[in-house]
Amino acid sequence: MRAAQTPPRARLPVWQKKTINRLRPAADSERIQRMGPVLLCAAAFLLGYLPGIFAGRGGQTVLGQQLANYYMESERFSVWGTSFFNQMASSFVQLFLVALCGLSVLGTGLLITFFGAKGIFMGFCAANVVAAGGGGALAAYWVNSCLPNLSLLFLALWLAGFASQLSHRLFQSVFLGGAPRGQLEAAARRMGIRCCVAFFASGIFNALCSGLSVLLIRTFA
């Protein structure tokens, strides 16, 4: 019997091979351009978190005490609809701000400032919750607020890469004689699609996190 022969692979035309070889370096370059600002924003968040903890230690400020009371009030998180609405409102505002930064020629600097301020705020809240209620209050705060905030943080960082890329193209158009042909439109289109994906994903995460909060509150109440 003859051994089964595998059919020969279809050969691509030379012009298609050249096109693929040209597109691969461009795609890798765009990925690198996005990752740099994302890492800077993540570093700004971490660097802001520590000063936030330092500022909120002891829970002596009036603002810190008010925030601690707000996050320690379990009634706010015991109803799924209310918890979901509050988390969605917060997600919408923050993702909208990230997208808005992409429409500025100074978008990368604004994004770094935004994530640094977010880190300071979250660290400040956590320190005041610990000062007011101890470890048990911190665990409840983590489930009710930090868990959805972490999912939002990753979505915002992902979106920030495309926002920074759009901002870079705008900067080229305003100050450097114009972005390469078609790249500004492509960056704006990618940004719009990613915004829709981020909003949809945040809705799913917030629905799950709100359900988890309600379940844990009713279980341990």
Query: CB of 191 within 8 A of CB of 163?
Result: yes
pLDDT of residue 174: 80
How far apart are the C-alpha atoms of 67 and 114, rounded to whole Å? 20
Model pLDDT for residues 103-158, shown as the tens digit of each residue: 998 999 999 999 999 999 999 999 999 888 887 788 888 888 888 888 999 999 99
pTM: 0.81
Residue 18 has pLDDT above 80, yes or no: no
11 phi/psi in degrees, rounded to 5: -90, 130
- Spatial contact of 156 and 38, defined as CB atoms under 8 Å apart: no
How far, in Å, CA of 118 to CA of 65, rounded?
A: 18
Q: What residues have CB less than 8 Å from 106, skipping those under 6 apart? A: 167
Q: Which of 60-64, 69-73, 198-202 has the highest mean pLDDT?
A: 198-202
CA–CA distance, 49 with 154 (Å, rounded to integer):
15
Kindly list the distances between the CA atom of residue 137 and the CA atoms of 74, 90, 134, 144, 145, in Å, as whole numbers in the listed order.
Answer: 10, 21, 6, 10, 12
For the stretch 182-208, pLDDT in tens is 788 888 899 999 999 999 999 999 999
